[in-house]
Amino acid sequence: MEPATFSMPHWPFVAASYVIFAALIVADLVTTATARRRVLRDLRGRLTRTARREAT
Amino acid sequence: MNALTLWFHRMGSPPTFYAFAERWRPWFLWSGLLLAVFALTWGLFFTPADYLQGESYRILYIHVPSAWMGQFVFAVMAVSGFVALVWRIKLAEIVSLASAPIGATFTAVALATGSLWGRPTWGTYWVWDARLTSTLILLFLYFGVIGLSRAIEDRRKAARAAALLAIVGLVNIPIIQYSVYWWNTLHQPSSVKLLRGDTTIDPSMLWPLLLMAVATKLYYAYSLLSRAQVMVLEQESGKDWVRRLAGAPAND
């Protein structure tokens, strides 16, 4: 005899799994893309401040 | 010195590594994403339902590759951590640390999707089964490595401490693998045994799974290179090649 839970709708569980996976991949993509831009922007800012200080 | 050894020596140089990552990152990303979309579409819509589990088995196209990646990335982290400890190669430290959040994400996905599969199949989201518990320990080990690397201010000391934890934690990987044979677990033994040739999953269901396993590895390569690039930039921020990259004139 198969368990009663086998008869429950499966698609919500399948859909939730795929959504979780997609959400985490998108979060990872956004994190990695913004982190590099942020580091380069901070670096440029620091270099500009140093150059200004040296000029005065 | 053979070509491969020479290549590894070259990759030890941060500017060479940065240029390599810049060139290959988009290839890994797009090939990984396209392959994942293809494999998941195949698995969702073009494979038959399982005779016993029905539609819920389709979760395996996310769950199994994520679980494999959780273990694979931990092994990469431990091996690069070992190289960092023994040969003091900065880039090996970076590879080890950059791998941790990616591996933790894959392990979290494996646990969450496994739980979602368990509800319609076992009738529960969670049991303290040896396979599930050892995978949860893997997630905690990842958290430990990430936490340790952020708790110590000196980056190189932090990397060495994290590498040590990764090496010690490697003992958990065979425990995860063999837990289903060593203990009486609710989690079933592996259905995919490519090396032994006695895979019990039907080929129509197996191919999308294998393609998804390749796609997750390609995505890992992309994410690792991206994260490593950020760490290289932070570590080398005083160097001329980074100043030039940021658009400032070199010091010389």
Indicate whether B99 belongs to any domain.
yes
Tell me if A32 and B242 make a contact (CB, 8 A cut-off). no
Indicate whether B244 belongs to any domain.
no
Domain extent, residue B79, equals 20-189+196-233
pLDDT tens string, chain B, 252 residues long: the values are 688 888 888 888 889 999 999 999 999 999 999 999 999 999 999 998 888 788 889 999 999 999 999 999 999 999 999 999 998 888 999 999 999 999 999 999 999 999 999 999 888 999 999 999 999 999 999 999 999 999 998 888 999 999 999 999 999 999 999 998 888 888 878 777 766 777 778 888 899 999 999 999 999 999 999 999 999 998 888 888 888 887 765 554
Tell me which chain A residues have a C-beta less than 8 angstroms from the C-beta of B56: 10, 13-14
Residue A1 predicted with pLDDT over 50? no
Give the residue from B204, B223, B216 showing the smallest Cα distance to B110: B216
Tell me if B55 and A11 make a contact (CB, 8 A cut-off). yes
Tell me the average pLDDT across A31-47.
87
Do you know the residue count of chain A?
A: 56
Tell me if B62 and A17 make a contact (CB, 8 A cut-off). yes
Indicate whether B207 belongs to any domain.
yes
Tell me which chain B residues have a C-beta less than 8 angstroms from the C-beta of A33: 226
Cα(B104)–Cα(B175) distance, rounded to whole angstroms? 18
Grouping H, G, I as helix, E, B as strand and the rest as coil, residue B112 is helix
Q: E strand or H helix at B22, and its extent?
A: helix B14-45
Closest Cβ opposite residue B248 in set A4, A20, A47 = A47
CATH number at residue B48: 1.20.120
Number of structural domains found in chain B: 1
Structure confidence at residue B110 (pLDDT): 97
Closest Cβ opposite residue A17 in set B116, B219, B223 = B116
Cα(B46)–Cα(B38) distance, rounded to whole angstroms? 11
Structure confidence at residue A5 (pLDDT): 54
Indicate whether B245 belongs to any domain.
no
Structure confidence at residue A51 (pLDDT): 78
Nearest-Cα residue of chain B relative to residue A9: B120
Tell me if A18 and B44 make a contact (CB, 8 A cut-off). yes
Question: Which two tokens mark B220?
Answer: 């890992």
Indicate whether B161 belongs to any domain.
yes
Q: B137 and chain A: CB distance < 8 Å anywhere?
A: no
Indicate whether B1 belongs to any domain.
no
Structure confidence at residue B252 (pLDDT): 43
CA distance A17 to chain B (A): 5
Indicate whether B155 belongs to any domain.
yes
ipTM confidence score? 0.87
Indicate whether B249 belongs to any domain.
no
Closest Cβ opposite residue B120 in set A6, A21, A47 = A6
